[in-house]
Amino acid sequence: MAQFVEPRSIDVVPDEERHGRAFGQFTLWLGANLQITAVVTGALAVVFGGDVVWSVLGLLLGGAVMALHSAQGPRLGLPQMIQSRAQFGVRGAVVPLLLVVVMYVGFFASGSVLAGQAVGELTHTDGTTGILLFAAVTGVIATAGYRVVHALGRVASTVCALAFVFLAVRLLERADTSALLHDAHFSLPVFLLAVSLSASWQLAFGPYVADYSRYLPRTTSTKATFWWTLSGSALGSQWSMTFGVLVAATAGEAFLDSQVGYVVGLGGTGLVASFLYFVIALGKLTVNVLNTYGGFMSLVTGVSGFRGQRRLSRAGRVAYIALVMAAGTAVALLGKDSFLSSFKDFLLFLLTFFTPWSAINLVDYYLISKERYDLAALADPHGRYGAWRWDALAVYAAGLLAQLPFLATGFYTGPLVEPLGGADVSWIVGLAVPALLYRLVARPVPSPDAPPAVPAPEPGASTSAARPTAP
């Protein structure tokens, strides 16, 4: 049990416990993206008015920002969001942390709705029972932690890739691809919707992507971490989303009535259908475990900023995970009957709040701090980073406000959306404005006592794993 359950949470992973290779990021993020929610995300571009050609091109954009966050993991050995203390302060980081927890709960819920349908079919029960069973399995794996999460990613990447190849062949046998490709009518608002959906999907991984690279040896190449993460996530998400675009364009109302049922029906019936229901549940299990694991990390990070806590007991770990799981399951049960329309608004809502955080974090890490943080000070509200960094919090607020005139959701539409033809470009503003403002107002935090705790690698240092064990 001691070896099965990861002993660490928000504390720094020491060098002697580092292991694995950067390639493990490829299999994890490929498996996390080859799944039904990514299919639905791609399909939304067509469901809300797009054609196949421009929707696919729009969905091909996005992903590099998320991979830049991943490259921080091996250098710091920390979960992603605790790094926000260097920008927002040890306690001020609770502001983006609260929004991150909302994100985890929302993605847990949306994934559970679709996985619950698959589990219900497999167990011959119903969607509600399927959601509950799925949540229980998710909690167990998230409690086990890092090694088991990566093992699940390796299995899911292989199984789901084979299944998606099979489904793509079946879809192309039914679809009139020539007619779909010739039906290209460019619409700027719908094209930008496709871009926004893709960008929000990728950016939403940003707050926890380094959680799954932080055990890599410190000497792991930043480029290797970046490219393996980007390639796995981009290949998996665009493969799934392009499949979703084609499904929505050919299925019409049949897809709207039952997303999981229609996709499984492409493959066949009997044992084939059972296998595809299992594949859907497996793909969703992979990403929902990431959401649960990241959610508990963020909760611990937020609470520890006020309590001074650096490590977490096993009982505490179980309690935090259970809290995330219970909240996500409750939201799934309440929202399962209005999934498709609410999911689009949820994705765009998330994009509004996380683009400013992402811009601030990346500008600080790569341009201001030059990839060097004082790790001990990240736990000390009286240290070099302080309790509250009002400059970063002000920039974050400015980034949120700057997006409002350009935002288009089901519950709010900004005044500049109509002049732009209904296009939502808020996420572009949300990246550019805070990045520029933070670069102008932020300065490196001086350290009178000691140099940063993360030294640059020695020239010529090996980029191989410290030992051959897979992550």
CA-based Rg of the chain, rounded to a whole angstrom? 22
Least confident of 52-61, 139-148, 449-458: 449-458
Q: H-helix or E-strand containing 293?
A: helix 270-307
pLDDT of residue 461 exceeding 50, the answer is no
Least confident of 157-171, 200-214, 431-445: 200-214
Q: Among residues of the chain, what percentage have pLDDT more than 70? A: 83
pLDDT of residue 309: 65
Residue partners of 252: CB distance under 8 A and separation at least 6: none
The mean per-residue pLDDT over the stretch 256-278 comes to 85
pLDDT of residue 459 exceeding 60, the answer is no
pLDDT of residue 184 exceeding 80, the answer is no
pLDDT of residue 269: 85
- pLDDT, tens only, 6-17: 887 777 888 888
pLDDT of residue 69: 78
pLDDT of residue 450: 43
pLDDT of residue 54: 60
Least confident of 46-50, 82-86, 234-238, 350-354: 46-50
pLDDT of residue 313 exceeding 50, the answer is yes
pLDDT of residue 60 exceeding 90, the answer is no
Q: How far is CA 228 from CA 22, 80, 167, 200, 232, in A?
A: 6, 18, 25, 20, 6
Least confident of 304-313, 335-344, 352-361, 444-453: 444-453
The mean per-residue pLDDT over the stretch 286-290 comes to 90
pLDDT of residue 73 exceeding 60, the answer is yes
Token pair of 213, please? 């690279």
- d(CA 437, CA 152) in angstroms, rounded, equals 41
pLDDT of residue 465: 33
pLDDT of residue 369 exceeding 70, the answer is yes
pLDDT of residue 454 exceeding 70, the answer is no
- What band does 380 get if pLDDT is binned at 50, 70 and 90? confident
The mean per-residue pLDDT over the stretch 254-279 comes to 84
- pLDDT, tens only, 78-92: 887 888 889 999 999
Q: Tally the C-alpha atoms within 13 A of residue 43's C-alpha that lie toward its C-beta.
A: 27
Least confident of 35-44, 132-141, 173-182: 173-182
The mean per-residue pLDDT over the stretch 60-73 comes to 72
If you average pLDDT over every residue of the chain, what do you get? Answer: 80
- What band does 389 get if pLDDT is binned at 50, 70 and 90? very high
CATH architecture of the domain covering 15-178+186-441: Orthogonal Bundle (1.10)
Least confident of 163-172, 303-312, 365-374, 406-415: 303-312
More confident residue, 88 or 419: 88
- What band does 342 get if pLDDT is binned at 50, 70 and 90? low
pLDDT of residue 49: 64
Q: Among residues of the chain, what percentage have pLDDT more than 90? A: 19
pLDDT of residue 314: 78
pTM: 0.79
Residue partners of 184: CB distance under 8 A and separation at least 6: 51, 52, 53, 54
Most confident of 9-13, 145-149, 181-185, 443-447: 145-149
pLDDT of residue 55: 57
Domain spans of the chain, in order of start? 15-178+186-441
pLDDT of residue 466 exceeding 60, the answer is no
3-state secondary structure of 469: coil
- pLDDT, tens only, 114-163: 788 888 888 888 888 989 999 999 999 999 888 999 999 999 999 999 99
At residue 436, what is the residue type? L
Token pair of 139, please? 């909690």
Contact assessment for residue 96 and residue 81, using Cβ atoms and an 8 Å cutoff:
yes
pLDDT of residue 124: 87
pLDDT of residue 453 exceeding 50, the answer is no
Residue partners of 70: CB distance under 8 A and separation at least 6: 25, 209, 210, 212, 213, 225, 226, 229
